[in-house]
Amino acid sequence: MSKRQIIFDTETTGFLDDPTNRMIEFAGIEMINRQPTGNYLHLYIHPERDIPEDAVKVHGLTLEALEENNAPVFAAVGGQIADFIRDAEIIAHNAPFDEGFLNREFAKIGLPSVRELGCGVTDTLAMAREMFPGQKNSLDVLCNRFSIDRSKRVLHGALIDCELLADVYLAMTRRQFDLMGAGEESGDRQTRVNVVQTKRNGRLKVVCADEGELAKHEQYLDALGDECVWRKAAAAERQV
């Protein structure tokens, strides 16, 4: 059975912990069986409130620009978003944030929550933290890590972030699909993984320390004093 996925992202007037913040941009890109279909939904949304300057610095969207382009309020497009994501696996970077905003907006107009629409939710940030513990895992960092071109990303934008995240998600999960025997398809072609085997000749090159390096080593051991474990071990070997 075909597996439908939606890579999605939102831009907002601020953080989720402030109940007055609203969504101002939604973008979703459809994939089926891990292949982009070309089907997407991209909407600018009037927040029915001001947009703080700190938020504008992140995504570049101003209230004036939205009004000039006759951006609809969420109530006018919420049903369209719900229909687009229904029964799909939705994939987002820091998914609790985007899912939380969608649920809040859906609730305002009496629509079911994301999960009530039959959606599974995958958080690529949680995946990245598991794959790369203790490291930075922002979308920019992951693009660099997987050699994904992000030169078009000057400001945060929902659609460009979806496009980048789709590439990041495929790169992060490609190995697990290869291990299950499913290749990555592109059109009518299938990408094959070539395993290169290397042979060792059984001889390792040994590089010994020179006199200067040995002298510095002894000076370092002298500084450690009588409790130097290295010299105690060496003395014990000589006594055997």
Task: Report pLDDT digits (tens) over 6-15.
Answer: 999 999 999 9
Each residue of 104-146: pLDDT tens digit? 999 999 999 999 999 999 999 999 999 999 999 999 899 999 9
- The reported pTM is 0.70
11 labelled binding-site residue: yes
42 labelled binding-site residue: no
Higher pLDDT, residue 147 or 153: 147
Q: Which of the residues are catalytic?
A: 156
Each residue of 40-97: pLDDT tens digit? 999 999 999 999 999 999 888 999 999 999 999 999 999 999 999 999 999 999 999 9
- pLDDT-derived band at 154 (thresholds 50, 70, 90) equals low
- Domains of the chain with CATH codes: 4-173 (3.30.420.10), 210-239 (no CATH)
Closest by CA to 35, choosing from 193, 192, 186, 189, is 186
The whole-number pLDDT of residue 128 equals: 96
Residue 214: Cβ within 10 Å count: 11
25 labelled binding-site residue: no
Among 32-36, 83-87, 231-235, which is the least confidently predicted range?
A: 231-235
Higher pLDDT, residue 228 or 43: 43
Take residue 52 and report the two structure tokens written for it.
């703080």
Concatenating the DSSP letter of every residue in 28-84 gives: EEEEETTEEEEEEEEEE-B-SS---HHHHHHH---HHHHHHTTPPBHHHHHHHHHHH
